[in-house]
Amino acid sequence: GPYVSVSVPSSGGPETLHALGAALQNGHGPGQDVGGWSRLDQDASALTVLELLAVKTKGEVVGASKHRGVWIFAGKLFVRAVGLVLRRWEAGTTTASASKAASASEGGNHPGDVVMGIMEGPGKLRTLRRSWVADAEGKLYLDAAGEVGGSVEVHRASGVVVHRLADGSEQHWKVTTQRGEDPFGAAAAA
C-alpha cells in the first residue's frame, strides 16, 4: 500500500510529536522501528490528493503558470503546500534572493505556504506545523462548518474543490485521487 513519511524538526513541541505518533500507528505497534515511514492500510485509510488549478485574488484569476500547489490527505494527516513558480534562474541567484524577489512582486506577502496537520473530522483541520508561522501549532486551520479559515465547496461532478480563504481570495483545486472518506464531508457539497 501507499507509504507516508513525516519528518518533524526536533524543535517540534510535545503536542506535535504526540499527535503525529497517534496518527501514524497505522499497522505498527508501539516501539516498532519503521524508519520514519508509516504504511497506510489499503482498506482502512482514506487517501485524497488535490492539485492547485488556479488562484483568484482581487478579481484576477491566475492559473498554474504562476502558482503550484498540492493538498494531500492520508488517513487523518494532511499536508498542503502552495507556492509561486520561479521561472528564471540566473547565475548567482540564490533561493533566498529569488524568494525575496518573488515576495516583493506579490506585494510583500511570502510566496509560499506549507501546512501540516490533523483532520479532526470532515472539513475540520488542525495545524501541527506551518511555514512562516511559529505559533501555529494546535490552532484550527480550517473549519468549513464554522467558517474558520474560509469556506469550502466541493463540486463532485467536475472533481473541483473551491477554497475561499478568509482574505477573500479563492483557490481552485482538482481532485486527482479520492479513496475512502471525503475530507471535506457532505456539508461542503455544492
Question: What is the average pLDDT across 31-57?
Answer: 69
The predicted structure's pLDDT at residue 3: 44
pLDDT band at 107; cut points 50, 70, 90: very low
123: cell is 472539513
Q: Are 83 and 106 in contact (CB under 8 A)?
A: no
159: cell is 472533481
CA angle centred on 133, ends 140 and 69, rounded to 5°: 80
Backbone angles phi, psi at 36, to 5 degrees: 85, 0
Could you tell me which residue, 62 or 49, shows the higher pLDDT? 49
Contacts of residue 136, Cβ cutoff 8 Å, sequence gap at least 6? 115, 127, 129, 130
Question: What is the average pLDDT across 51-80?
Answer: 86
Share of the chain above pLDDT 90, in %: 26
Please, what is the end-to-end C-alpha distance for the chain in angstroms? Answer: 32
Q: Which DSSP string corresponds to 91-159? A: TT--HHHHHHHHHHHTTT--SEEEEEEEEEETTEEEEEEETT-TT-TT-EEEETTTTBT-EEEEETTTT
pLDDT band at 41; cut points 50, 70, 90: low
- Per residue in 62-76, pLDDT (tens digit) is 776 788 899 999 888
Could you tell me which residue, 16 or 182, shows the higher pLDDT? 182
- Per residue in 143-181, pLDDT (tens digit) is 987 778 888 999 989 999 999 988 888 999 999 999 888
Q: With a cut of 70, say whether residue 121 has pLDDT above it.
A: yes
